[in-house]
Structure 1
Amino acid sequence: MKKLVALFTSLIMALSFASAVGAAPAAPPLEIYVNDKLITFKEDKPVKENGTTLVPVRMLLEQLDFELEWHQESQVATATSVNPRHQLVISLQIGNDTAYVNGKPQKLLLAPKKINQRTYVPLRFIVEQSGYQIDWNEQLNRISIDTILESKGFMWKAEKNGNVVYLLGSIHVASEAMYPLRDELNEAFDTADYLAVEVNTSVEKPGLGDYIEDLATYKDGTTLRNHVSAELYEALVELLEEIGAPANALDHLEPWYVSMIVDSLSAEDSEFEAELGIDLHFMNKAKKANIPIMELESYESQLQMFNDFSDRLQEQFLYGSLYKYYQEEDSVEDLSEMWITGDVDALTDMADEVQADEEYYNAVLRDRNLLMAQKINGFLTGSNPATFFVVVGALHMVGEHGLVTLLEEMGYTVTQV
């Protein structure tokens, strides 16, 4: 079931320099690009003062997805981001070298000023506060501004008698687009004495492969063909033949495990990878920082859950995996976008929709949530105060039987961070 992923990234930059006798040629006019689009400033050109580039605030912020409000009496410009991934309000005042970002003061290299009746502000400050990155090509006299918005994620906090628990809803497979994470997530992790996850996937589990094979193999004389519809079985055979595998290669296995195998085939061309998963990201950070990693569950308990599902539900799993294999869109995209934007309402709707299948909902969410909540309660009632950073699947957090609700029913105040 292991998938070996190699990420090769290469960047080759070639700079050519030429010497000339006599006077140096004039530098080309300054150009500013936002996500590869050239900004046309017309007569209100950017200017440089003491090495700091100043630009007309309105023209720049409109390019960065902000709405601008000007207060004539106070000479204050207030910019509000309209991008749902980056809730931000920036206030700047003419002649004042202190700006306010979401109400917090920030020092400027130069104060905003009026030039030809236009308000000019320091370019780099605005860009970096807005969740973008900035690059300057000295040769071309070109400034490039590119999107680098932080993912919001889903995080809550509960406290009792000096014990602190941060609850982070994770996505087990993720893409590069989900990084970097917002500062609050990393800052909360940095305070942790312990990391708690569903299962510690950052370490090898000797004998796990043999355990799974034994658990998922029919021992009653039946085969996969006896437990799924003829149409579904034929669809699987077609896929196996398509990839050059024997038609009966998976006959000895139960549908839930065959479903996982098909999912692994789908993942080969997907941008979403377990190696980029949010939980594994923090497990790797914990290992580097020598923070103990605790497990709320085990591989065995999770696998046994799948093995205990009825033939009906296992057949649905396999049908869904085969369907996903031939789809161009990745089924993880919706959940990924919810995580990036921190859309708790959409996440809650998704958790509620899962209740449509009672067997699946009870086993995958409700029953497991009850056990997890009991262990988290133990963290909060420990006699030696400590901080726990708990990372489990995002769907475990919300809804009628979510961890947030269960902890609130235990009497805890749980606040979203």
Structure 2
Amino acid sequence: MKKLTSLFIALVMVFVLATSVQAETTTSSAATVWLNGKQVQFVDNQPFVEKGTTFVPASTVLEALGYAVAWDEENSAIIAEKYGFSIAVQVGNVVGYVNGIERTMTVAPKIENDTVYVPIRFIGEAIGYDVDWDGQTRAVLLTKEASKGYIWKVEKDGVEVHLLGSVHLGDASMYPLRDEVEAAFDNADHLVVEVNVAQVPDKQTAQEIATLQTYSDGSTLKDHVSAETYKRVQTFLTDLGLEINAYDAFKPWAVYLDMSNYVAATSGYQGGLGIDRYYLNRAQEQNKPILELESYISQVKIFDSYSKELQEQQVNEVLDGIYGGTETAGSTEPSIQVLTDLWIQGDDAGLEQLIASIQESPELYEKLLKARHAGMIEKIEGYLNNDNKDSYFIITGYLHMLGEDGLVTSLKEKGYTVTRI
């Protein structure tokens, strides 16, 4: 396939749609499409079933789902984007792209009556919808419950802020979000995030991060971890086809983060699909002011402050996840899947249990969570006491919300009215 245009390349590939449905017939015939119980209206060109696959006008379905659609004439490709989520399909090619990741369709998109048709199952399943075929009514049913998530409203003297607990890496299963969450964002005057990851660090910050990640005293990774751990790291690098000393200049916490990102990416999780990035994209679209609770540097310094023992433990935990093996003693590392499932369910009890398990590692709990809360609370109280009566939509990792030292708990203790939504 030809490389798509700069429009395609520029898209932050994050989440989108595409599809195809099996029916009993092998002849071309009409069908309807229903999205969460509401029929999608087609005007000039209708869906049809052909040899067991339901084709739909791509632009109509994508626009019904809120996507901006562009046509790449040179490559005969449709590119759709929504707040950084994207999809690209090419006429005659069974390989499509969902947030930059290849997805293979059972049948290639085609042109009928000057309209690009795409298998509906590709669209629906790419964004986590259940796709069913009702043979009696000849209808394709796309259904999905909105994720519950973790959100609270905090009020004082007519001023309100919303606290949304997030997962920084995500996948399509986390969307759509509940109407109540979307409305809270739409009505807010400001968006507040831990760090504005939509903004590239300046040169000085990038250099400081690089300095913190690496050794400057002539030592290397093998001088700071056990021989067994270092050998495991070398095996990981070898399996990826990289030089066995590729991580030598880096501290264990930096190695841990890099390997964690690899695990997330190979599992289908992306920063661009995280809740933070979703709302950062929306805020930029609406020209909504963006504020930060922390900074790139402050977060990097947290990892750099971990003890030698904790850093090596985390390296082994992520390697255990990749290769299996006995659980590392004192392991408190929750998997991305666990974090995502809790968020989708909005399970407060499950979140409390997860936080309690992290408390079993006092250093991790203190540095990753508790020590950061005082600074966060100070800023949140500042927002609640603003003279302009502005409202704020605040996003931070949901591990910060509950537990005895959580933000929600602390704000309640300070006398604010806090309501779970």
Shorter-chain TM band = 0.5 to 0.7
Post-superposition offset of 1:312: 0.6
Other structure's SS at 1:391 match: strand
* CA shift digits 1:12-47 (9 cap, x unpaired): 7999769xxxxxxxx9xx9999x9xxxxxxxxxxxx
The residue identity in structure 2 corresponding to 1:242 is D
Other structure's SS at 2:177 match: coil
Post-superposition offset of 1:11: 4.8
Other structure's SS at 2:266 match: coil
Other structure's SS at 2:299 match: helix
Tell me what 1:213 maps to.
210
Is the 8 Å Cα contact of residues 173 and 272 (structure 1) preserved in structure 2?
Answer: yes
Tell me what 1:332 maps to.
336
Q: 1:397 aligns with which of 391, 398, 401?
A: 401
Post-superposition offset of 1:273: 1.3
Q: Residues 321 and 135 from structure 1, CA distance in 2 versus in 1: closer, same or farther, beyond 3 angstroms?
A: closer
Is the 8 Å Cα contact of residues 150 and 180 (structure 1) preserved in structure 2?
Answer: yes
Is the 8 Å Cα contact of residues 21 and 132 (structure 2) preserved in structure 1?
Answer: no
Is the 8 Å Cα contact of residues 170 and 394 (structure 1) preserved in structure 2?
Answer: yes
Tell me what 1:287 maps to.
284
Q: 1:160 aligns with which of 136, 156, 159?
A: 156
Q: Residues 263 and 375 from structure 1, CA distance in 2 versus in 1: closer, same or farther, beyond 3 angstroms?
A: same
Post-superposition offset of 1:382: 1.3
Tell me what 2:7 maps to.
none
Tell me what 1:299 maps to.
296
Q: What is the distance in 2 between the residues matched to 1:13 and 1:32?
A: 11
Tell me what 1:95 maps to.
none
The 5 A counterparts of 1:140-155 are 141-155=137-151
The residue identity in structure 1 corresponding to 2:166 is S
Post-superposition offset of 1:248: 1.4
Q: 2:311 aligns with which of 298, 302, 314?
A: 314
Is the 8 Å Cα contact of residues 168 and 394 (structure 1) preserved in structure 2?
Answer: yes
Tell me what 2:193 maps to.
197
The 5 A counterparts of 1:39-58 are none
The 5 A counterparts of 1:16-415 are 141-207=137-203, 208-326=205-323, 331-415=335-419
Q: Residues 167 and 10 from structure 1, CA distance in 2 versus in 1: closer, same or farther, beyond 3 angstroms?
A: closer
Post-superposition offset of 1:206: 2.6
Is the 8 Å Cα contact of residues 169 and 396 (structure 1) preserved in structure 2?
Answer: yes
Other structure's SS at 2:210 match: helix
* CA shift digits 1:312-339 (9 cap, x unpaired): 11111111122223359x9211121111
Q: How many residues align?
A: 305
Q: What is the distance in 2 between the residues matched to 1:239 and 1:297?
A: 33
The residue identity in structure 2 corresponding to 1:256 is W
Post-superposition offset of 1:265: 2.1
Q: Residues 262 and 353 from structure 1, CA distance in 2 versus in 1: closer, same or farther, beyond 3 angstroms?
A: same
Q: What is the distance in 2 between the residues matched to 1:402 and 1:246?
A: 43
Q: What is the distance in 1 between the residues matched to 2:417 and 2:192?
A: 20
TM-score of the pair, normalised by structure 2: 0.66
Post-superposition offset of 1:284: 0.7
Q: What is the distance in 2 between the residues matched to 1:400 and 1:241?
A: 44
Q: What is the distance in 2 between the residues matched to 1:10 and 1:144?
A: 13
TM-score of the pair, normalised by structure 1: 0.67
Other structure's SS at 2:417 match: coil
Tell me what 1:63 maps to.
none
Is the 8 Å Cα contact of residues 370 and 406 (structure 1) preserved in structure 2?
Answer: no
Q: What is the distance in 2 between the residues matched to 1:360 and 1:187?
A: 35
* CA shift digits 1:74-119 (9 cap, x unpaired): xxxxxxxxxxxxxxxxxxxxxxxxxxxxxxxxxxxxxxxxxxxxxx
The residue identity in structure 2 corresponding to 1:372 is M
* CA shift digits 1:331-371 (9 cap, x unpaired): 21112111111111100111111111111111111011121
Q: What is the distance in 2 between the residues matched to 1:224 and 1:339?
A: 35
Post-superposition offset of 1:7: 6.7
* CA shift digits 1:242-273 (9 cap, x unpaired): 21212112111100001111122223321221
Is the 8 Å Cα contact of residues 168 and 391 (structure 1) preserved in structure 2?
Answer: yes
The residue identity in structure 2 corresponding to 1:412 is Y
- Worse-matched range after superposition: 397-406 or 5-14: 5-14
Q: Residues 134 and 9 from structure 1, CA distance in 2 versus in 1: closer, same or farther, beyond 3 angstroms?
A: closer
The residue identity in structure 2 corresponding to 1:354 is I
Larger radius of gyration: 1
- Worse-matched range after superposition: 141-150 or 355-364: 141-150
Q: Residues 283 and 7 from structure 1, CA distance in 2 versus in 1: closer, same or farther, beyond 3 angstroms?
A: closer
Q: What is the distance in 2 between the residues matched to 1:133 and 1:245?
A: 39
Other structure's SS at 2:216 match: coil
Q: What is the distance in 1 between the residues matched to 2:388 and 2:14?
A: 43
The residue identity in structure 2 corresponding to 1:150 is A
- Percent identical among aligned pairs is 40
Gaps in structure 2 of 5+ consecutive residues: 1-11, 37-128, 326-333
